[in-house]
């Protein structure tokens, strides 16, 4: 059920981050799929620095599936887990060629059968390459949604299900983007900027944190008792 408070949170975040969008650079579904696989435990900025050369060398699934694994590793070794990611990319491209006519499928069920593709990657591709209403949950969305009281589940998959109940379907894609933007710019994991948060009055976690900070400040600023 969509609550007025949840709508207000989303509305304010959309105003605060009007340019929120997918941080990965891509021109087609194939490029986005590759970039999203590479982005696991890495930054979009680092992925975007590597993919132009990678896409120039392997412009489509057919070229990538024929690539030498060592060469793929060399081209992506600047990001974490590059050994596994190189293998995923090659195996994923092979599956695209064998099963999907060298095209990226536009269904969730098909995408998650590909090597290196989980729920988050599938949802990112569906939303940003095919314009489908999905709601991907990464570390930022997970953290921010829990702090805001939009979810309390223990896993990303369960959190996704809760958010789908709390956010209107036609807002799922933009919700994903603004929650990520908020998590990167304001509601960061350590030392979040609660004092300047556009939804502080609607955030249970932020309210508790600010109250604790104020209480600590009052405690440290109090004059010491005079010993008698």
Catalytic residue set: 120, 138
List own/partner pairs for 47-50 with CB under 8 A and 24 or more apart: 47/79, 48/23, 48/24, 49/78, 50/75, 50/76, 50/78, 50/79
Residue 179 CA neighbour count, 13 Å, CB half: 29
Please state, in angstroms and as integers, the Cα–Cα distance from residue 57 to each residue in 30, 71, 205, following that order.
Answer: 14, 10, 47
Asked if 203 contacts 192 with a C-beta cutoff of 8 angstroms, the reply is no
């Amino acid at each position: 059920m969509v609550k007025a408070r949840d709508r207000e949170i989303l509305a304010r975040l959309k105003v605060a981050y009007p340019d929120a969008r997918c941080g990965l650079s891509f021109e087609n579904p194939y490029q986005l799929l590759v970039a999203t696989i590479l982005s696991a435990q890495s930054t979009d900025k680092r992925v975007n620095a590597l993919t132009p050369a990678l896409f120039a060398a392997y412009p489509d699934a057919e070229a990538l599936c024929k690539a030498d694994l060592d060469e793929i590793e060399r081209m992506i070794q600047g990001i974490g887990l590059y050994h596994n990611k190189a293998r995923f990319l090659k195996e994923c491209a092979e599956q695209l060629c064998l099963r999907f006519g060298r095209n990226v499928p536009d269904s969730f069920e098909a995408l998650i059968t590909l090597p290196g593709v989980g729920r988050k990657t599938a949802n990112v591709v569906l939303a940003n390459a095919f314009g489908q209403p999905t709601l991907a949950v990464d570390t930022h969305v997970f953290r921010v949604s829990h702090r805001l009281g939009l979810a309390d589940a223990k896993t990303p998959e369960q959190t996704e299900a809760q958010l789908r109940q709390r956010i209107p379907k036609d807002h799922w894609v933009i919700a994903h983007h603004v929650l990520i933007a908020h998590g990167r710019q304001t509601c960061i994991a350590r030392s979040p900027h609660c004092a300047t948060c556009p939804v502080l009055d609607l955030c249970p976690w932020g309210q508790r944190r600010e109250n604790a900070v104020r209480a600590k400040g009052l405690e440290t600023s109090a004059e010491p008792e005079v010993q008698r």
